[in-house]
Structure 1
């Protein structure tokens, strides 16, 4: 089975083209509880992306098991424009969230292991920062004893 850290690293690598295409300044992993007020401290250089392992559940099919891990991909950006303009423009959290979806949805992060989008939501909306997240499920089948 692929380890959590290796999946996080693969997601960060898959998102790296956003540095050139969307001016993303930071793409990194985070391994602790995430509070909305902590984002400005964690991500001082915007736009930024944070990959967070959120936990997993195991489906049991006798000897065959499937580990279904959830990874949150937070996109954060600051916009000095109006909310309406930020939603419609090429900068801001919403266009960045769409770019993340285009890169990750259905992506084979390891052989026969794919990222599947499960949901997207706004996490934080303040005058100085907007943060949204997408939850990707990475399912890994394995046999007991492997």
Structure 2
């Protein structure tokens, strides 16, 4: 796990982060055992890593396929205006679309790459036409459909 070191992180901190990235529900006693410290200093390190922003939170990883949401498409979005105000308007609006799992500003031939998860291609077409294409400053979109997800977080 690569981490930019803004604060002084030592080997114990880096190991805690690597372990938590794999198992966010690990008990502090098990975490302590795996990093080679006792429970109290391990808990203190965990608290410090959270308070300083290295750990942003904990969440459940939901099996989207079991929910019938196994259609993944990537929408390339080109904006008609890329001044800061337009980017902020787009960012606010896209973050409200439930089907958009990820949104990344891209340096390249388009401005944003969206990962969109829906039940099927018909639903994706509705989301694209009714929600994504009507976002502020959208000039054009292009879609690639995932045939198989090999690795996801």
Normalised to the residue count of structure 2, the TM-score between the two structures is: 0.33
Larger Rg: 2
Normalised to the residue count of structure 1, the TM-score between the two structures is: 0.34
Q: Which has the higher strand share?
A: 1
